[in-house]
Homo-oligomer: A and B are copies of this chain.
């Protein structure tokens, strides 16, 4: 089967997207992403190309940028690009170059996907990337979820080259005389991954030349095993956990007899804020006297005669913070907001990071109100014309329970302006008419 046929079959089998949807391809200019763009063209899919210039390699970065721009032109598809001050981000966020590049890249891609009204971001991860992930997870210790490798579809990301071996991608480029630049996407690759790619896998290949394909085949089975695992966990939870109002009850005797105890207990208690380090303490409650308890970040687990009772930690009086027009900083539980007003110039670029809100100041009515989100809240997510419930938005964002519970919203005249750190409201975005900007940066503490 040639690469193009395999590519279309994989998209179909994994239901990655349909022909009427529009895709945003992350293209570095390296062989993988360039071949991917050519495959999209050959298949007749609807797509745009996005390129990040991390400005880390001077002339070479500019060369790559120009190369990808030309590629988009020759394939006759829209082109989006951005230049990051990666070094500054590294310093201001105290993260490594790799982490900075990944953060900037995915934040900007998501923002671009929304503003360009694309359905999915597409990356060129292939079979070996996925095999590397599994080997690395295993080497640093993992559970069954660490064995599914890189997923073909995850939120708004799809990876239609996961079926392909690196060698097949390279062969396709040669056969079709496809030009590419040296793979600059390696900037976003961690040191450890490169170490596995260049030092570990070649050694294993001496004993098992087919190791990459072998692991990829195993991943397919592990993914199905993970589904069966989840089904079984669900059955245990239904059997063990009883809900009464906002309290959950687990019969001690039934839990004690559960096989396998450790994993089932972990899958239950993690939902109530239990950390792996706390699990042994929670399990000790099975042999404790009434009244003993363990507190997680979000819940209290109490031994009460033949039951474990799980109750949410008493919530503090819901805090409301009023922000007057001249305020420049606001401290609250979990973080700090920094506010800055500036005039809009033609050269103004809108920061892409989700932790920065860039708002049209004249659309706002003061004072602004900062509060925790509550059920029933809704907003118009940036790039969308329809309103959306926050509860629904959190599900799409796959927020964990504690993360969700601690989310703040910024309000102006009873309208939500910003889900702090996640997404601004479309009604307050910068437009061509905007004269003055309010930029708010959220720093988690």
- A residues in contact (CB < 8 Å) with B: 134-135, 138-144, 146-147, 192, 195-196, 199-200, 203-204, 206-208, 210-211, 213-215, 217-218, 220-225, 227-229, 231-233, 235-236, 259-260, 262-264
Contact = CB atoms under 8 A, between A and B. Distances in A.
A224 B140 contact: no
Residue from A135, A146, A196, A224 whose CB has the most chain B CB atoms within 10 Å: A224
Given A195-B206, A208-B140, A218-B141, A233 B228 contact: yes
A299 B400 CA distance: 49
Contacts of A235: 231-232, 235
A203 B233 CA distance: 36
Contacts of A199: 203, 206
A204 B200 contact: yes
Nearest to A215: B138
B225 A229 contact: yes
20 contacts: A135-B138, A138-B138, A138-B218, A139-B204, A140-B208, A140-B211, A141-B210, A141-B218, A142-B221, A144-B144, A146-B218, A195-B207, A196-B207, A221-B262, A224-B260, A227-B259, A227-B263, A228-B232, A229-B229, A231-B235
Contacts of A218: 138, 141-143, 146
What 9 pairs across the A-B complex have the smallest Cβ distances?
A: A141-B214, A224-B260, A224-B263, A228-B232, A232-B232, A144-B225, A139-B208, A227-B260, A143-B221
B260 A214 contact: no
B207 A139 contact: yes
A288 B135 CA distance: 40
Count of this chain's copies in the oligomeric assembly: 2
Nearest to A260: B224
A263 B225 contact: yes
Contact of A139 (B139, B141, B211, B259): B211
Contacts of A143: 218, 221-222, 225
Given A232-B228, A232-B232, A263-B225, A215 B144 contact: no
B221 A263 contact: yes
Contacts of A264: 228
Contacts of A203: 199-200, 203
A236 B235 CA distance: 12
Contacts of A144: 144, 221-222, 225
Contacts of A211: 139-140
A322 B223 CA distance: 53
A215 B236 CA distance: 26
A228 B227 contact: no
A203 B207 CA distance: 14
Nearest to A141: B214
Contacts of A227: 259-260, 263
Contacts of A217: 141
Contacts of A224: 260, 262-263
A152 B389 CA distance: 52
Nearest to A194: B207
A141 to B, nearest CB: 4
Given A143-B218, A147-B147, A235-B235, 17 more contacts: A139-B214, A141-B213, A141-B217, A143-B222, A143-B225, A146-B218, A199-B206, A200-B204, A221-B263, A224-B263, A225-B225, A225-B229, A227-B259, A227-B263, A228-B263, A232-B232, A232-B235
Contacts of A262: 220-221, 224
